Amino acid sequence: LTREAALVRFGADTPMERYLVGAVFMGFGSMLAGGCAVGAGMSGGSIFALTAWVALFCMWLGAMVTHVILTRVHDRRATLA
């Protein structure tokens, strides 16, 4: 509407490598699962399939553990700098 366009990149405090590694892991996990595991978890969860709920819980748990690990690494680097 305002006829403005801009490319937005990652800032200096946000390493793009973290997102690229996450994307590779997501693609590998999707291939290993035989498709989109999140979609299968959501559709299976709607019909109360136990395996879908277990899969969603494990995805949530894995995301939380990864967040804690990456936050600790980032905090350590910040204190060393």
37 in a structural domain: yes
Q: Give me the chain's average pLDDT, please.
A: 78
- Residue pLDDT, tens place only, 19-75: 888 888 877 877 776 666 667 777 777 788 887 788 788 888 988 998 898 888 777
* Token pair belonging to 13: 């405090």
Please, what is the Cα angle at 61 between 34 and 22, to 5 degrees?
A: 60
Residue 65: per-residue pLDDT: 92
Residue 37: per-residue pLDDT: 64
4 in a structural domain: no
Domain, as residue range, for 49: 16-80
Distance of CA 27 to the CA centre of its chain: 11
Q: For the chain, what is the domain count?
A: 1
51 in a structural domain: yes
